[in-house]
Amino acid sequence: MTWHILGAGSLGSLWATRLARAGLSVRLILRNRQRLAAYQQAGGLTLIEAGQAQQYAIAAELPQADAPIHRLLLACKAYDAQSAVATIAERLAPGAELLLLQNGLGSQDEVAQRLPRQRCLFVSSTEGAFRPADFQVVFAGNGYNWLGDPNDPQPPAWLDELQHAGIAHQWSPDILTRLWRKLALNCAINPLSVLHDCRNGGLSEHPAEVATLCAELGELLQRCGQPAAAENLHEEVQRVILATAANYSSMHQDVAQGRRTEISYLLGYACAAAQRHQLHVPHLQHLQQRLLSHLRERGLPLA
């Protein structure tokens, strides 16, 4: 079965090239004729791994193509997920499976509610990748991909294709715990890295601020029925800060390059959840206001 991939960003390209390298059928869906022409001129996607570059001439098409889609990896930003799915909704075969590879929480439910006849699998990834140029991707850090379906604990039969492609993965019956945990990690690290304008390692100089946020986030996870996601949160945040000390967070990169952030699906989602549960989180709310002011000053979108 063909893997259709919508969103040729860093992670989408990383998945596409590894699947193609394993000899699996892959098709990219590019948003318009200009992108398709640019891709065809480039000759394919280039994967750079351990300093070695290899190009893969993966087939590409427009959203309006005729072929039905049975399996789709949606690898766009969280705020683009709904509109991206709308462009190909008519092509989805009955019972098609969608892998939703978005940061934060909220966008997955939006897509699943829009497509009640499809199976939506949620993916939480810790793999590192970035694009040095159009249609090139650098595999920057080995990580893991957890996949799960909140409505069906039964894993799909095609997981061995990921094994064959060398995509480190695990089926997770408790995928929401994984996503809540990652949301908390992102909320504790990404906004502060933007406000202090530092690499992740620079947050070691702000231990009290990090500890206070972790305490509130842990309380929020408990209130939202995710006690497992709250366990040893502060310790893991400190570990991630050290392990990724030389990296800039994804939110820092977005702000530095004048791009829209995923604040609504990260810090915004956490603050909204606290409000729903009538939980007082003054430091998280203050952090959100500081970050919104920072974005406003730079003329960037606030949602």
- As annotated, the active-site residues are 182
For residue 240, count other CB atoms closer than 10 A to its CB. Answer: 18
Task: From residue 229, give the alpha-carbon distance in Å to each of 4, 9, 181.
Answer: 32, 28, 5
Q: What are phi and psi of 94, to 5 degrees?
A: -55, 130
Distance of alpha carbon 6 from alpha carbon 12, whole angstroms: 7
User: For residue 106, what are its two tokens?
Assistant: 């909220």
Backbone angles phi, psi at 121, to 5 degrees: -100, 130
Q: What tokens appear for 278 in the block?
A: 């009538």
Alpha helices in the chain (DSSP H): 10-21, 33-42, 81-88, 107-114, 159-164, 175-195, 207-223, 227-230, 233-243, 250-256, 267-276, 282-297
**b or e along 126-163 (b: 16 or more beta carbons within 10 Å of the residue's beta carbon)?**
bbbbbbeeebbbbbeeeeebbbbbbeeeeebeeeebbe
CB-side neighbour CA atoms (13 Å) of 204: 13
Rounded CA-CA distance 265/67 in Å is 32
189: left (phi over 0), alpha (psi -120 to 50) or beta: alpha
Residue 60 CA: distances (Å) to CA of 63, 72, 97, 101, 118 = 10, 14, 20, 20, 23
Contact assessment for residue 153 and residue 175, using Cβ atoms and an 8 Å cutoff: no
